[in-house]
Chains A and B, each alone.
Chain A
Amino acid sequence: MIKDDFKIDFENKKISYTNNSNKNVYTAQELYSYIQDLFDEPVNLKYDIPLVAKSKTNFKLINGWRLDKNSLKYLKGNIE
């Protein structure tokens, strides 16, 4: 489950892959969908959105969010 493998640090605006044991790989689109859903939750409305989609395979980090380098190994697609 992507929600178990990625940690969203709202306060420090950082997205990290945390489950290095099972090494699940996701598409960037899956991460985007998960984040959009997550940030729709009432408690998260106060936080800025991390990603915008430029296409189904190309995404861009915004609002000062960062993606740790380790995460890139478990993502297919491009996140600028």
Chain B
Amino acid sequence: MPGSFTTDLTLIKAAEATTTDYTSLGSFVYKAALNDDLKVEGTNATYFSATSPNTAMMLAATASANLDLSASTTHVFVWIKNIAWPSHQTKAKQGVGYVVSSDSSPTLVSRVDTVSVSAGGTGYTVGDTLTVAGGTGTAATIRVDTVSGGVITAVSVITQGLYTAKPTTPNTVTGGTGTGASITLLFLEATSNSKSWFLGGSDTESIRGWTNYAIDINGTPDLTTQSPVLTSVDRLGVTARASGTISNKVGTVVYDVSRYGTGSTINDGTGRAPVTMADYVAFDNANARAWGIVVQQEGIYFLAGKLNFGTTGQSAETIFWDRNQTFVWQDFPVSSSHYEWKVVGASGQETTFQLGSYNPATNLTSNGCTIRGSGNVSGTARTDGVAGVAHSRWTFTASAANQVTKLYNSNFTEMLSAALAYNAISINVTNCTSSNGSPTLTTTGSFDTSGIVVGMKVTGTNIPANTYVSSIASATSLTMDKNATGDIAGTANFTHNNEIRGCTFSNSGAITTNCCVIDNCTFQNVKTGAPISASYAIIVTSTTEGNRITNSKFIACNRALKISGSGSFTFNNLTFSANSYDIENATNFATYASDTVAASASTTLNSGGTVGVGQSFTGSGGFLSAVRFFLKKTNSPTGNAVAKIYTHSGTYGTSSVPTGTALATSDNLNVALLSTTQAQVPLNFSGSNKISLINTTNYVVTLEYSGGDGSNNIQVGYETTNGHGGNYSTYNGTTWTADSAKDASFYVFTGAEIVVNATAGSNPGTYICTAGTFDTTSCYSYNANTSTFVDETTDINSAGANDVALVPIQATTQGDLIYFGHNLQFDGVTLNIGTAGNYSNITLNWEYYNGSTWTALTVTDTSNSFKTSGTQTISFTKPSDWTIAYANSVCRFWIRARTSWSASQSVTTAPLATQGFIADTTINNSVTVALSNIVTGSRVTIYQTSNPTNVLNQTDLTVGTTVSFGYNYLGDLDITVRVRKSSSAPKYLPYETTGTIEATGFSLVVNQITDTIA
């Protein structure tokens, strides 16, 4: 049998000792150590039977064991076999449980559990508080729930009390407005200074065999009595509560060895044959051990603890491979971090973990496994009503180096999270030869195959594409799944990576890919509420990670993909449906190159003089989005200025000048828009000009303008305090000249931009931004009645209070404004609206500045004009003529919402936001909208049905019979198509129809009918 197995479990009690090692409390019979066929481990087991409706405890371990169980990961494992479930109480009523006590000689303490009326007395009032009389300890109190003519008819427990000697029952209670009541008390018994967990009951357990229960000893128990000390636990044992008085002839509960720890480790250092779970279970469940981390019942593996696959110090590789199996994490009171599969390896001794099979030649997966919790994870509490502990959720971790994890054709549910990795390990094997026609690669000398594992991809001269290692024969040869066509000249490279193919994840949490390959998978119903609260199917931190996800479906997820790294992503057959948002843009802006020292002087740019200034800076990664210079104009210059990024030449900080052709050029800045007062003016980079700025590489950013003249020109601010490590330079149209005494007052911005290029049927549509913060003075509200601007930037960047004034602010004067702006053009604002607006007969007009006027902006506004609270998005397509503008003298790319009305306007509640985010999320997903069979000479218009002003296409079909154009698909869009031809003969009846542009586009065969009357 392959495999070597270890555990971190520490023995508490083996159930082999005599009665002197046990303490028993309560009403029951027991046999502390019994040579019995019921044993799991060793020779003996222990049994007992509760004999009355009260609770019995059978505590093992020796007195003054002083076990320290306070480590956060410590769980206790105990084998329990329940013989007569129908005789036990329900789970919530402590049918069978586990108890730990820090008392070396614990005693029985009692609480009042339930109460009923024995004698109703007279003169009582509903709501009276009655106090239980007698007993030793803290008295319980009881509420009078109903009376009839002053006679109590129903009561309930207010406080349970805590007694070392129980009061009598029925109990002549005191207090209240009446006299003579007598209440029957039913007690719940417990161990002094203890914590108890209710593990099962007649309502939750069926008749079955031994179960190795796992308990988070530091978690929230079902019952705490007095003040147990987990650093000094003396007694641990099993409790049981009968549902009534039962015969004492039968032991209803049997229990065996108990341990504490976390789980087991699977290694395979014995050979090349993969170890399977069956191998592990055979070892684990042997009588000599009975760890019980995994048991198999009726073909299903039930798991109770952690499983580690490989170790970081292993001296041989570990290979685990299983197929067609079902694994279930059991519904035990464990911590949320307890249930885990973790794959690790050692350098040169890697671990391979594989579920299911994959044929790279056909790209088909098969023989997968199912790994899941036992269910019941969709609500906020267990169905049995016991809250405070985690159940049946698990994590998969394989992000460490030196491991290969391959998940094929498998189903994962109740998975809390998964962290995987891409291991780009290459092993160069020199002087290799292969036998023609043989898949065996051999060398003339010995080479180290220890780093080579089955499944590695092999590349090299004469090796066919998609060749994989299928087995390792010896230290001088291995077998590939394809024939080499000849000798391998010199080098063969072996690479592998974690990959997930053909799998389904549902009712699960987020996967952190770490560049893992994900292909042909489905992510469905990623949980957003407790106890999983994952929010995302996959978290992507870079374009490399994102581009390794292919051919997959995201269905009904809160956010399908959380992207936290700026850049340009290609979505290859990623389909989205019924997600709250397909993409979460979680990128933020960065201002890593700037000189914030205010400009003290300026360089004038105009034709015939200086036509450019430059400033060197050092890249630190990121996706160029915008730059900002301190600019103003004199008189009336015309034309455009641009910013450019150049390769750096010279000595940084001393003689830096640009060289070569510009690496990136900004959008045009119409200098006529500049103020005559110096201000920070942003210049936006778009499309392919959004270059990556390489870390530690020097660049030069320039501002260039060659228009104007000596009277009409622009000025670029600089300072002379050496506020930046780079240096200034000027350009006369021919030569760049460095000026080490100056630095431009400038900014370079990166981040908060995602470009998604949808291909192969991908249909991302909805998106949200959650991390892009507003730059200084980039959010203003304006009260038209008081003509006052309020800078909301600090408030909108803070989640602390509901304090961002949206509009309308008031209903006296039209023209309230809320401005959202940034240094770069953006296409979305996400707002957390804390107070929804309640107003009437007021219109919000969204606008942008087109260089000459504020112009209507078509937005998708999920907030319904700030009338809906919660997380809401304002998204739009960036207008092609969007220019900078000045709001409250601040120059930005602004959008704004402006109030207007005609009559009877009112504001009951002005809307307020708690926080907001801003970002640029561009989705390029062109689909074809095609109309055919149109009569030549017709006029065609296609517009959004719900917004007729949004005309997608209008064509005067002077020639041809078709209309076809590309549409950037961002979700299904209902459209109306109109085709008319009445201006010239032959005339046709107006043709009109509706349809929907879907992810596949839109196609329509027009059918016009001749108009014989017109």
Interface residues of A (CB under 8 A from B): 29, 32-33, 36-37, 39-42, 45-46, 49, 53, 55-56
Closest to A39 in B: B980
Q: A33-B1014, A36-B987, A56-B1013 are in contact. Are A46 and B982 (CB under 8 A)?
A: no
Q: A36-B982, A41-B983 are in contact. Are A29 and B1013 (CB under 8 A)?
A: yes
Shortest C-beta distance, B324 to chain A (Å), equals: 62
The answer to whether B1013 touches A42 (Cβ under 8 A) is no
Out of A32, A33, A37, A46, which one reaches B941, CB within 8 Å?
A46
- Known contacts A40-B982, A46-B948, A53-B1011, then 13 further A-B pairs from the complex at CB < 8 Å, ordered by chain A residue: A32-B1013, A33-B1013, A33-B1014, A36-B980, A36-B982, A36-B1014, A39-B980, A39-B982, A40-B981, A45-B939, A45-B978, A49-B992, A55-B1013
Residue pairs across A and B with Cβ atoms less than 8 A apart, 21 shown, are A32-B1014, A36-B990, A36-B1014, A37-B983, A37-B1014, A39-B990, A40-B981, A40-B982, A41-B939, A41-B983, A42-B954, A42-B956, A45-B939, A45-B941, A45-B954, A45-B978, A45-B980, A46-B948, A46-B951, A49-B990, A53-B1014
**Is B943 an interface residue when CB atoms closer than 8 A count as contact?**
yes
The answer to whether B982 touches A37 (Cβ under 8 A) is yes
| Chain B: interface residue total (CB-CB under 8 A) | 18
Shortest C-beta distance, A34 to chain B (Å), equals: 9
**How far, in whole Å, are A33 and B1013 apart by their CA atoms in the complex?**
7
**How far, in whole Å, are A57 and B951 apart by their CA atoms in the complex?**
35
Shortest C-beta distance, A20 to chain B (Å), equals: 26
Closest to B978 in A: A45
| Cβ-Cβ contact count across A and B, 8 Å cutoff | 44
Q: Among residues 971 to 1014 in chain B, which have CB atoms less than 8 Å away from a CB atom of chain A?
A: 978, 980-983, 987, 990, 992, 1011, 1013-1014
Shortest C-beta distance, B267 to chain A (Å), equals: 73
Shortest C-beta distance, A69 to chain B (Å), equals: 24
Shortest C-beta distance, B562 to chain A (Å), equals: 41
**How far, in whole Å, are A40 and B1008 apart by their CA atoms in the complex?**
14
Residues of B within 8 A of A39 (CB): 980, 982, 990
Residues of B within 8 A of A37 (CB): 982-983, 1014
**How far, in whole Å, are A33 and B982 apart by their CA atoms in the complex?**
8
Residues of A within 8 A of B954 (CB): 42, 45
**How far, in whole Å, are A39 and B982 apart by their CA atoms in the complex?**
8
Residues of B within 8 A of A36 (CB): 980, 982, 987, 990, 1011, 1014
Residues of A within 8 A of B948 (CB): 46
**How far, in whole Å, are A40 and B956 apart by their CA atoms in the complex?**
10
Shortest C-beta distance, A75 to chain B (Å), equals: 15
Shortest C-beta distance, B517 to chain A (Å), equals: 50
Q: A39-B990, A45-B939, A46-B943 are in contact. Are A53 and B1013 (CB under 8 A)?
A: yes
Residues of A within 8 A of B978 (CB): 45
Closest to B942 in A: A45
Residues of B within 8 A of A56 (CB): 1013
Chain A CB within 10 Å, residue with most, of B982, B1013, B1014? B1013
**How far, in whole Å, are A37 and B978 apart by their CA atoms in the complex?**
14
Shortest C-beta distance, B988 to chain A (Å), equals: 9
Shortest C-beta distance, B981 to chain A (Å), equals: 7
B914-943 vs A, CB cutoff 8 Å, 1 = contact: the mask equals: 000000000000000000000000010101
Closest to B981 in A: A40
Shortest C-beta distance, B940 to chain A (Å), equals: 8
Q: A46-B943, A46-B951 are in contact. Are A40 and B980 (CB under 8 A)?
A: yes
Closest to B1011 in A: A36
Shortest C-beta distance, A36 to chain B (Å), equals: 4
Out of A29, A40, A53, A55, which one reaches B983, CB within 8 Å?
A40
Residues of B within 8 A of A41 (CB): 939, 983
Residues of A within 8 A of B943 (CB): 46
Chain B CB within 10 Å, residue with most, of A29, A32, A42, A55? A42
**How far, in whole Å, are A57 and B980 apart by their CA atoms in the complex?**
22
Shortest C-beta distance, B932 to chain A (Å), equals: 19
**How far, in whole Å, are A1 and B951 apart by their CA atoms in the complex?**
33
Shortest C-beta distance, A38 to chain B (Å), equals: 8
**How far, in whole Å, are A18 and B1013 apart by their CA atoms in the complex?**
25
What 6 A-B pairs are tightest by C-beta distance, nearest first?
A36-B982, A45-B941, A40-B982, A53-B1013, A36-B1014, A33-B1014
**How far, in whole Å, are A40 and B941 apart by their CA atoms in the complex?**
11
Shortest C-beta distance, B943 to chain A (Å), equals: 7
**How far, in whole Å, are A42 and B982 apart by their CA atoms in the complex?**
12
Residues of B within 8 A of A42 (CB): 939, 954, 956
**How far, in whole Å, are A56 and B1014 apart by their CA atoms in the complex?**
9
Shortest C-beta distance, A54 to chain B (Å), equals: 9
Chain B CB within 10 Å, residue with most, of A39, A40, A46? A40
Q: Among residues 953 to 983 in chain B, which have CB atoms less than 8 Å away from a CB atom of chain A?
A: 954, 956, 978, 980-983
**How far, in whole Å, are A32 and B1012 apart by their CA atoms in the complex?**
12
Shortest C-beta distance, A55 to chain B (Å), equals: 8
Chain A CB within 10 Å, residue with most, of B982, B983, B1011? B982
Residues of B within 8 A of A55 (CB): 1013
Residues of A within 8 A of B1014 (CB): 32-33, 36-37, 53
**How far, in whole Å, are A55 and B1011 apart by their CA atoms in the complex?**
11
**How far, in whole Å, are A23 and B847 apart by their CA atoms in the complex?**
48
Shortest C-beta distance, A74 to chain B (Å), equals: 19
The answer to whether A40 touches B939 (Cβ under 8 A) is yes
**How far, in whole Å, are A53 and B978 apart by their CA atoms in the complex?**
18
Shortest C-beta distance, B179 to chain A (Å), equals: 80
**How far, in whole Å, are A29 and B1011 apart by their CA atoms in the complex?**
12
Q: Among residues 63 to 90 in chain B, which have CB atoms less than 8 Å away from a CB atom of chain A?
A: none
Residues of A within 8 A of B982 (CB): 33, 36-37, 39-40
Shortest C-beta distance, A59 to chain B (Å), equals: 9
Residues of A within 8 A of B987 (CB): 36
Chain A CB within 10 Å, residue with most, of B978, B980, B983? B980
**How far, in whole Å, are A41 and B954 apart by their CA atoms in the complex?**
11
Residues of A within 8 A of B990 (CB): 36, 39, 49
Residues of B within 8 A of A40 (CB): 939, 980-983
**How far, in whole Å, are A68 and B948 apart by their CA atoms in the complex?**
27
Shortest C-beta distance, B985 to chain A (Å), equals: 11
**How far, in whole Å, are A39 and B938 apart by their CA atoms in the complex?**
12
**How far, in whole Å, are A72 and B943 apart by their CA atoms in the complex?**
34
Closest to B979 in A: A45
Closest to A29 in B: B1013
B546-560 vs A, CB cutoff 8 Å, 1 = contact: the mask equals: 000000000000000
Shortest C-beta distance, A29 to chain B (Å), equals: 6
Closest to A34 in B: B1014
Closest to A38 in B: B982
**How far, in whole Å, are A32 and B951 apart by their CA atoms in the complex?**
27
Residues of B within 8 A of A29 (CB): 1013
Closest to B956 in A: A42
Shortest C-beta distance, A45 to chain B (Å), equals: 4
Chain B CB within 10 Å, residue with most, of A33, A45, A55? A45
Shortest C-beta distance, B137 to chain A (Å), equals: 82
Closest to B937 in A: A40
Residues of B within 8 A of A46 (CB): 941, 943, 948, 951
Residues of B within 8 A of A53 (CB): 1011, 1013-1014
**How far, in whole Å, are A37 and B954 apart by their CA atoms in the complex?**
17
Closest to A54 in B: B1013
**How far, in whole Å, are A49 and B943 apart by their CA atoms in the complex?**
16
Residues of B within 8 A of A32 (CB): 1013-1014
B158-199 vs A, CB cutoff 8 Å, 1 = contact: the mask equals: 000000000000000000000000000000000000000000
**How far, in whole Å, are A56 and B987 apart by their CA atoms in the complex?**
15
Shortest C-beta distance, B61 to chain A (Å), equals: 85
B232-262 vs A, CB cutoff 8 Å, 1 = contact: the mask equals: 0000000000000000000000000000000
Closest to B1013 in A: A53
Residues of B within 8 A of A49 (CB): 990, 992
**How far, in whole Å, are A32 and B989 apart by their CA atoms in the complex?**
11
Q: Among residues 557 to 591 in chain B, which have CB atoms less than 8 Å away from a CB atom of chain A?
A: none
Shortest C-beta distance, B29 to chain A (Å), equals: 89
**How far, in whole Å, are A53 and B941 apart by their CA atoms in the complex?**
23
